Amino acid sequence: VGREARVFSAQTEVTDELELLPTYAVAFSGCQLRCDFCVTGAASWNARVGEVWEAGKMEARVQAAVSGGARSVMVLGGEPVLHLTAVLELAAMVPEEVPLVLKTNGGLGREARGFLGGVIDVWLPDFKFGNDRCALRLAGVDDYWAIMTKNVEWMAREGGGALVVRHLLMPGHLECCWEPVARWLSSRMAGVRVSLREGYVPAWKADRHPELRRWVSGSEMERARQVAAACGLELVP
């Protein structure tokens, strides 16, 4: 992604998990995945978009947001972990009593795990795909399942913060993606809290894939919730 971290958005948001809202969300440009349905594709696929990260300027904005009522600070992307130094600088400027949330696609390497363990208050991994085939076809990534499950287990065991696992429901991907993720969470992550996101929109390059050209149907949402209930998962609003 280059030497400079860039931020394509920094603002207070109210569309994430209820317990974190309002959150001051700082979004870094660039991502190592290439999800064709990425709603922030233009910035997430291009690490050169946005303003250059300057810790001093951001500290003033974080303080203003917290004074204005933000209950948490969320770092996201693209993939924020690609900008490890900037993420650590951000962590240092967030007041002790304000939770720092890391929203990540889960592709953490050993170095990132080493630096971020004990620093993040709420881990928010986005567990998108239930198998390597869909991950390769829709996001151009290899070995997705092994990397994701290893990192989610690490977050639960050694991450040092709370864990909420996200899954974005995609049209036509209940059986291949949501069900394996739900079953794995149920069998390996007893008591984990899960955020089942139902706001998929056919954005960016989604029309490359026929099944992604529509919204998730009401019956798919209902079936997805039934899967969660059958697996005994605790869904967070």
Kindly state the smallest distance separating residue 231's Cβ from ligand SF4, in Å.
Answer: 24
Per-residue x/- mask for ligand SF4, residues 51 to 90, rule CB under 6 A? Answer: --------------------------xxx-----------
Task: Give the residue with the Cβ less far from ligand SF4, 11 or 226.
Answer: 11
Task: Give the residue with the Cβ less far from ligand SF4, 166 or 182.
Answer: 166
**Residue 128 and residue 167 in contact, taking contact as beta carbons nearer than 8 Å:** yes
Task: Give the residue with the Cβ less far from ligand SF4, 36 or 121.
Answer: 36
Residue 23 within binding range of ligand SF4, rule CB under 6 A: no
Which of 5, 26, 31, 73 is in the footprint of ligand SF4 by CB under 6 A? 31
Residue 38 within binding range of ligand SF4, rule CB under 6 A: yes
**Residue 88 and residue 111 in contact, taking contact as beta carbons nearer than 8 Å:** no
Residue 195 within binding range of ligand SF4, rule CB under 6 A: no
Which of 29, 44, 72, 151 is in the footprint of ligand SF4 by CB under 6 A? 44
Per-residue x/- mask for ligand SF4, residues 98 to 127, rule CB under 6 A? Answer: -------x----------------------
Q: What is the binding site for ligand SF4 (CB under 6 A)?
A: 31, 33-35, 38, 40, 44, 77-79, 105, 139
